[in-house]
Amino acid sequence: MKNTPSFFKNYNIILLLSSITIVAACSKSTHPVSYVTSSLSMSVLAPVEADVAIARAHWPGTTFDRLNQGYYIYDDKCTDCHEAKMPQDFTVNEWNVIMHKMGHKAKLDSNQYKEVFHYILTKREAIIGTGK
C-alpha cells in the first residue's frame, strides 16, 4: 500500500467501518428477552395488568405472564425483518390474515402463535376499545 493513493486508503477504511456498522445494526441482542425492548413503540406496547381482564373476556384463564410472553415473542420474531406493526392499525380480520402469513414466516409453533395472537388482539382492544 506504499504507492496506493490516499483516496483508496481512505475508501478501504470507510468501507470497513460501514460494513462493521451494518453488521452491528443487523445483529440481534443476546441478552435475555426482558432486555430486548429497545424501541419506544415496543415499550408503549408492553402489556399492563389492566390488559389481563380484556384478554380473559375472550380467553378465560389468560395470565399476565402469557400476555407478556406474546409481547416478547412479537418483539423478538416480528421485528427481525420489519418494524413493529401497531395493533390498532389493523382490524381483527386483517390480523387473522397477517398472523396466518407471518406466523409461518417467523416459524412460530402453535403455542407461540396463540400467545402472539392473543397479545396483539388484547393490546388492540386496550388501545381502541371494544367493537372497533
- Per residue in 32-70, pLDDT tens? 333 334 454 567 789 999 999 999 999 999 999 999 999
Grid cell 388484547 is found at 122
- In the chain, which ranges are continuous DSSP H helix? 6-26, 40-45, 49-58, 64-73, 92-105, 110-128
Grid cell 380484556 is found at 54
Cβ atoms of 67 and 74 closer than 8 Å: no
Q: pTM here?
A: 0.66
Domains of the chain, by residue range, sit at: 31-128
